[in-house]
Chain A
């Protein structure tokens, strides 16, 4: 039996092996043709899988094959690329299951989710070192997508940074923690290892200064811990030292680090190649050599550096009125010394005279003067001779843009005593004019419609750069109307100079419709919030300008760190629009420390502690409830004021496109004549019409308690305190300044009207209006004239805390803060007023050419504050005159002003402020 069983098993195994081999062969044969065989198979089912979970519907929209379609390898490949492009998936695989029935297959998309790095932490080193690494780490950052290659690069970068700080034997590892489904925390575990002791510093290549002197300048010390980043700074110090000794081209570098791991020490060799000592000699004029030292710091062609130096000297002199200066240069070598000699003939210094044009036929001369800002009698302190030499080219370019392609400009000078008249001779030549414009191949738009898009016009000048710009305009026009793939060329036919025809040859592309809009990446943000910002919808044509506007609106929400909008062609004049967003961090905590001064600074101001600190703490949470709303809590604490503000900001107000803020606050402030506690609640809506125009609407309720009154009770205008106010206000703002902090040109104006009415048990009843206008006019040569006008009028019972106050560095620089206007007859403290008239005028001028941000100013302030409208009297208008210094900073100018009230002849009052007068 056993033997039979064994024989049977053996024979079965042999047969089974034969069957198996035949079967495998058949399977391979069948599967080897699948790439092509599947093309005609029908897709019964498409499945998408991330690990074990199902996938969001939006991603399904990126799959270009559909159930019921024939299989297409090309569409599968394009789908993989589209899904990968979103950035949300680190790996994608597509599998096919042949169902062997009715020629049907199942297609499975396997996606591996990509993670967003929510936090990066460092372990194993001190907080100072962590800060140094965190600040400079470029290869990996919070908010980015995670990838293995980034981690590896980051480890190398961290090791590099540690090495700079002296950790030569560091090791860096990492581990990852999942916080939520799509976010991870990365922990870098650092073992800094031992540092090296610097055994010796060896200098090679110079004998000008002793080693002792060189080592004294360096912070790197023998016997101390070796830190390459400090050595880098030391090398810079040594370079500066030798450059001060006129070795401008010195090359100092770390040549070698000889490390002894056993000893834990290092010897460094610093190579020094000083080059020649360079002496500059300028004869004939006083020219700062700082002008041309930078030219000689690199090892450049000497002839080039000489010529550049000459150009700099001429530029310098011409700016100062030496229009006919000339320079000759030479180099003399004396051993290891190089003498650079400039012989300058400055010529006479001239004041600007007249600018006279000859030969101008086609344009009025006034147009040229306005175009090039040429004034015959400018308010200039220095003549800008450099501008003169560029003028002929500027005028030539202008004429050419007007079709005068063969214009010739020459400039001459006429010396009249110490004035210089400039004579400009213009030979205009013939004008090239466009006779006809044709659009060949344009089917979708009428000729007139296309003509409106371009700057060239029939009867107008022909100018090639303008025509090229017109091609771009037409291309954008087609894109903005949903066309893609439009090709535009231009053919210019010149019969004669004034008979030119332009043929725009247009190969119109396809007009594409948006079939589907796919939104992905919004893990927190509600889809409806994103949809509200879309300027384009499914079924629209692919208007490029609306797509760009959509992106801008999404960016303006302030909740995304990255927004990608991709157009995905679907064929047949259709496309999908994919909007991939990356949400930013939601929580923010801030801390600030500043200085506050309410009193005018006197020489002992600091010692009298008139300048006090103010602390600001801020917490905000962005994108609350996924609605792009912002919640903020700010508190400010200083010696004269305390404030706490809770605010809730959202991009819409009940679906209306008005940004709205709900604020609740408590504040306490010490004013000159009273102190107050105030709490309030407000709702503010903002509508921005365009870049320049904003409309604000505000409803406010406040409850105020006054104390420490230094004015009579009757001035309070209320019988009881505390008192409540409820008001509504509207403000319109038009801001056309070129810069918010440091405007040079343009204007700002605003008008606010507030109506307080007794509502819900409040006691207020007044009507208040405030208007301001500020204008900046550049006058050339860095001169600037600014003017500010302010009017404020109020009627009714206006509580003191709501009245107008004036006086101080931002309103009237002839009085102390808040002290312009009516005072309490007994305490002489300011009580504010209901009518305000203020004018401020200021002329700002440069003080020196070297410090470009330093200016001087003279100002004139006039106006007053009146108790009531009916008490406005012109004879009560006060006047103040003064001067000041400004230093421009990115946050506005730091102003030191000295003003004197001309009307009352009080003493000069100094002011220190940051920001412009407003």
Chain B
């Protein structure tokens, strides 16, 4: 008797749970951030992650993706230039096809996200435009001085090598490598400052209060 009652209660509980679980509302899309009146949505984020638009950013750094999309939109709004992008777009397309394994697989993935190639092209265009502007604007930076190289050698390179229990090479041997590192750092710093100045003139909103919420939504949607 007791076992029968147990079964009935479990059955009723199961039915109730299955009903409530299967009739809950799920967030399919939402605004994550905005630049002026232009919204950046959850589906935008999914697309750029799934299609590996920014291979240099690791998937777990959601904030970096959003920041990158914001930077691109700011540059597109503030810097108006006209140059052909067809060649670079074609290169990107080939890279993505290779990444997915085959052209068929690539187009299937597009279908899954209810995208056409023209839809995905917009994301790629924005990325290439941004990269071109940055490359053009920060092509030349002030030359790296010997003092800067020495400082980096003494304060960064040597201690790093010692931490790894490696014998540090001489300044002469690593000078050009250090010069390159400092140049990149300087360039990054200039780019960052320039973007910060551009952002001051725009109204940027980030709607996400909790990054984990977004991570959860991305996981539930089975991001690879």
Interface residue ranges, A against B (CB under 8 Å) = 4, 8, 11-12, 15-16, 19-20, 23-24, 27-28, 30-36, 38-39, 72-74, 76-77, 80-81, 84-87, 90-100, 107-108, 147-150
Cβ-defined contact, B207 with A97, below 8 A = no
Given A12-B6, A19-B13, CB of A77 within 8 Å of CB of B29: yes
Cβ-defined contact, B28 with A76, below 8 A = yes
* Listed residue (A27, A38, A80, A96) with the most chain B CB atoms within 10 angstroms of its CB: A80
Report chain B residues within 8 Å CB of A77.
Answer: 29, 41, 43-44
CA of A97 to CA of B24, assembled, Å: 6
CA of A107 to CA of B119, assembled, Å: 23
CA of A20 to CA of B17, assembled, Å: 8
**Cβ 8 A contact of A81, one of B22, B27, B38, B203:** B38
Given A35-B222, A85-B38, CB of A96 within 8 Å of CB of B26: yes
Cβ-defined contact, A93 with B31, below 8 A = yes
Please name the residue on chain A nearest to B11 by beta carbon. Answer: A19
CA of A98 to CA of B112, assembled, Å: 18
Interface residue ranges, B against A (CB under 8 Å) = 2, 6, 9-10, 13-14, 17-18, 21-31, 34, 37-39, 41, 43-44, 46, 112-115, 119, 203-205, 207, 220-222
Cβ-defined contact, A80 with B25, below 8 A = no
Given A77-B44, A93-B31, A147-B205, 15 more pairs with CB closer than 8 A: A8-B6, A15-B10, A16-B13, A19-B13, A23-B14, A27-B21, A34-B221, A35-B113, A35-B221, A76-B43, A80-B39, A92-B30, A93-B27, A98-B23, A148-B205
Task: Report A140 CB to chain B, min CB distance, Å.
Answer: 10
Report chain A residues within 8 Å CB of B23.
Answer: 97-100
Cβ-defined contact, A74 with B10, below 8 A = no
CA of A34 to CA of B24, assembled, Å: 13
Task: Report B204 CB to chain A, min CB distance, Å.
Answer: 6
Report chain A residues within 8 Å CB of B22.
Answer: 27, 30, 98, 100
23 inter-chain pairs at a CB distance below 8 angstroms, sorted by A residue, are A4-B2, A12-B9, A19-B10, A19-B13, A19-B14, A24-B21, A27-B18, A30-B22, A33-B222, A35-B46, A35-B113, A73-B43, A73-B113, A74-B114, A77-B44, A81-B41, A84-B31, A94-B30, A96-B25, A96-B28, A98-B22, A99-B23, A148-B205
Cβ-defined contact, A32 with B221, below 8 A = yes
Task: Report B21 CB to chain A, min CB distance, Å.
Answer: 5
Report chain B residues within 8 Å CB of A27.
Answer: 18, 21-22
CA of A92 to CA of B221, assembled, Å: 19
Cβ-defined contact, A80 with B30, below 8 A = yes
Task: Report B64 CB to chain A, min CB distance, Å.
Answer: 20
Cβ-defined contact, A31 with B44, below 8 A = no
Report chain A residues within 8 Å CB of B203.
Answer: 147, 149-150
**Cβ 8 A contact of B39, one of A12, A72, A84, A147:** A84
Cβ-defined contact, A31 with B39, below 8 A = no
Report chain A residues within 8 Å CB of B9.
Answer: 12
Report chain B residues within 8 Å CB of A19.
Answer: 10, 13-14
Cβ-defined contact, B220 with A32, below 8 A = yes
CA of A4 to CA of B1, assembled, Å: 12
Report chain A residues within 8 Å CB of B13.
Answer: 16, 19
Cβ-defined contact, B26 with A34, below 8 A = yes
Report chain A residues within 8 Å CB of B221.
Answer: 32, 34-35
Given A11-B6, A19-B13, A32-B221, CB of A149 within 8 Å of CB of B26: no
Cβ-defined contact, B112 with A95, below 8 A = no
Task: Report B210 CB to chain A, min CB distance, Å.
Answer: 14
**Chain B's interface: helix, strand, loop or mixed, by majority?**
mixed
Q: Which 7 A-B pairs have the closest CB atoms?
A: A84-B39, A95-B25, A93-B30, A73-B114, A74-B114, A32-B222, A77-B43
Please name the residue on chain A nearest to B43 by beta carbon. Answer: A77
**Cβ 8 A contact of A95, one of B17, B28, B43, B119:** B28
Report chain B residues within 8 Å CB of A148.
Answer: 205
Report chain B residues within 8 Å CB of A20.
Answer: 17
Please name the residue on chain B nearest to A97 by beta carbon. Answer: B25
Task: Report A776 CB to chain B, min CB distance, Å.
Answer: 39
Given A16-B10, A23-B18, CB of A84 within 8 Å of CB of B37: yes
* Listed residue (B10, B25, B205) with the most chain A CB atoms within 10 angstroms of its CB: B25
Task: Report A156 CB to chain B, min CB distance, Å.
Answer: 11
Cβ-defined contact, A94 with B27, below 8 A = yes
Report chain B residues within 8 Å CB of A91.
Answer: 30-31, 207
Report chain B residues within 8 Å CB of A30.
Answer: 22
**Cβ 8 A contact of B28, one of A28, A73, A84, A100:** A73
CA of A80 to CA of B23, assembled, Å: 23
CA of A451 to CA of B197, assembled, Å: 48
Please name the residue on chain B nearest to A32 by beta carbon. Answer: B222
Task: Report B76 CB to chain A, min CB distance, Å.
Answer: 15
Cβ-defined contact, A80 with B26, below 8 A = no
Given A72-B114, A73-B114, CB of A23 within 8 Å of CB of B41: no
Task: Report A59 CB to chain B, min CB distance, Å.
Answer: 15
* Listed residue (A31, A35, A148, A149) with the most chain B CB atoms within 10 angstroms of its CB: A35
CA of A20 to CA of B18, assembled, Å: 10
CA of A8 to CA of B6, assembled, Å: 8
Report chain B residues within 8 Å CB of A12.
Answer: 6, 9-10
Given A32-B222, A81-B39, A92-B31, CB of A23 within 8 Å of CB of B21: yes
Cβ-defined contact, A92 with B220, below 8 A = no
Report chain B residues within 8 Å CB of A96.
Answer: 25-26, 28
Cβ-defined contact, B112 with A36, below 8 A = yes
Cβ-defined contact, B41 with A80, below 8 A = yes
Task: Report A698 CB to chain B, min CB distance, Å.
Answer: 45
Cβ-defined contact, B119 with A74, below 8 A = yes
Task: Report A141 CB to chain B, min CB distance, Å.
Answer: 12
Cβ-defined contact, A38 with B205, below 8 A = no
Report chain B residues within 8 Å CB of A76.
Answer: 28-29, 43
CA of A38 to CA of B26, assembled, Å: 11
CA of A28 to CA of B216, assembled, Å: 12
CA of A107 to CA of B27, assembled, Å: 10
Task: Report A151 CB to chain B, min CB distance, Å.
Answer: 11
Given A12-B9, A147-B205, CB of A31 within 8 Å of CB of B28: no
CA of A796 to CA of B122, assembled, Å: 77
Cβ-defined contact, B220 with A31, below 8 A = yes
Given A84-B39, A95-B28, A96-B28, CB of A39 within 8 Å of CB of B2: no
CA of A157 to CA of B180, assembled, Å: 39
Given A27-B22, A73-B28, A149-B203, CB of A87 within 8 Å of CB of B10: no
Report chain B residues within 8 Å CB of A74.
Answer: 113-115, 119
Cβ-defined contact, A92 with B39, below 8 A = yes
Please name the residue on chain A nearest to B46 by beta carbon. Answer: A35
CA of A153 to CA of B29, assembled, Å: 29
Task: Report A152 CB to chain B, min CB distance, Å.
Answer: 11
CA of A149 to CA of B207, assembled, Å: 10
